[in-house]
Amino acid sequence: MRYAAITGCGMAVPDRVLTNAELEKMVDTNDEWIVSRTGIRERRVAGPADSTTSLSVKAARAALAHAGLTPDDIQLIVVATCTPDQFIVSEACLVQAELGGSAAAFDVGAACSGFVYALTVGSMFVQQGLYDRVLVIGADTLTRFIDYTDRSTCILFGDGAGAMVIEASDQPRGLLSTVMGADGGGNKHLYAPGWGAIVPESAELFPEIRPYMQMNGQEVFRFAVRVMGDAAAEAVQKAGLSFDDIDMLIPHQANSRIIDAAARRLALPREKVLVNLDRYGNTSAASVPIALAEASGQGKLNEGDNLVLVAFGAGLAWAAGVVRWGVAGVPRPELAARRGAGVLAAISDGD
């Protein structure tokens, strides 16, 4: 059997911090409401010098350093994003141009679920034997499409990128199971109109179609609570594990009440649930890999740990997977030595 171990991870967020106190001056909201309804205290917002590409490249370099590899070692780059810097060409090609190397490169579009979709795609290439080393990135700069006069959405989102290197292993490491799903009929609950190739029905309508995120928060909330718990539970079962075997839940960081519901469904205590949305808000496709990179950088993950990744978002789409952490079975003895030397704790790139 060939498996696809995660051998490196990294993250990057913009420097600019947008606090709840600042939002109070922009829209009719308050810190108490935002924290009690969402758990978010601050988020990072891309400045003029930041882009989906620049954040992706920083996260990718951190992941490669963690794995002890260079861009020339990578054979495929998959980027999950719904906010590429350009539509033509792919975000993955823009990232490859900055990184160097000659890896094949393409994007996966599944909004906030995108990273788990992309990890599945990248892992399949490794498991099937087509490639030995793949770079998977989740990156978004959604704040470029947020209306900062709309209090129902502007409090939620932040920007960032997370990256992982996956490599062939002969031991059960990396993604052990995946559950993916979509309800395209629910697209109207979370979307950004006027941001694509479609021609508006009438030129007069065009000015009314704003390229801003539109959201029916309550519908998305109900959907998220249902699919996060169900998908995570199904992924655990598909991996042949029980809830007791799970060492950590790494959920999409959208809302602490949604995360709590998913944790309850898996009967996981609070200390086994990774939450960092208080500092980053909802970073879309970047949220799961940022959380994972932080957990790794803080030394919270151990060889052989079973992690559940789960995400939901626009589509409406969702995805969950069980990942077994560690580098056992990767034919690079120096990798285990690097872990032993404490490289594990040096990956986070929060610049």
Ligand X SMILES: CC(C)(COP(=O)(O)OP(=O)(O)OC[C@H]1O[C@@H](n2cnc3c(N)ncnc32)[C@H](O)[C@@H]1OP(=O)(O)O)[C@@H](O)C(=O)NCCC(=O)NCCS
Footprint (CB under 6 A) of ligand X, residues 282-301: 282
Binder of ligand X out of 49, 185, 196, 218 (CB under 6 A): 218
Short-list 172, 318, 162, CA closest to 232? 318
**Nearer to ligand X by C-beta: 31 or 73?**
31
Q: Residue 85: name the closest of 112, 47, 50 by CA.
A: 50
302 among known catalytic residues: no
The dihedral through the CA atoms of 300, 301, 305, 310 has a sign that is positive
Rounded to a whole number of angstroms, the minimum distance from the CB of residue 268 to ligand X is 20
Catalytic residue among 154, 189, 252, 255: 252
How many Å apart are CA 189 and CA 75, to the nearest integer?
37
Tokens representing 31 are: 């810190």
Residue number of the CB closest to ligand X reads 217
Consecutive H or E run containing 203: none
Residue closer to ligand X by CB (options 77, 190) is 190
Q: Least Å distance between CB 220 and ligand X?
A: 4
Active site residue 282: yes
Residues whose CB falls within 8 Å of the CB of residue 342, separated by 6 or more in sequence, listed in order? none
The residue from 109, 186, 217, 350 that contacts ligand X (CB under 6 A) is: 217
Nearer to ligand X among residue 74 and residue 288 (C-beta) = 288
Q: Provide the mask over 219-258, with x wherever binding to ligand X is found by CB under 6 A and - wherever it is not.
A: -xx--x-----------------------------xx---
Opening angle at CA 40, ends 39 and 45, nearest 5: 165
Burial 244-279 (b: 16+ CB within 10 A, else e): eebbbbbbbbbbbebbbbbbebbebeeebbbbbbeb
214 binds ligand X (CB under 6 A): no
Identified catalytic residue from 9, 93, 112, 154: 112
Q: Could you confirm whether 112 is annotated as catalytic?
A: yes
- Element (DSSP H or E) covering residue 139: strand 133-140
C-alpha distance across the termini of the chain, in Å: 39
Contact characters 111-130, ligand X, x per CB under 6 A: -x------------------
Q: Which residues bind ligand X (CB under 6 A)?
A: 29, 33, 37-38, 112, 151-152, 155-156, 190, 215, 217-218, 220-221, 224, 254-255, 282, 313
Catalytic machinery residues: 112, 252, 282
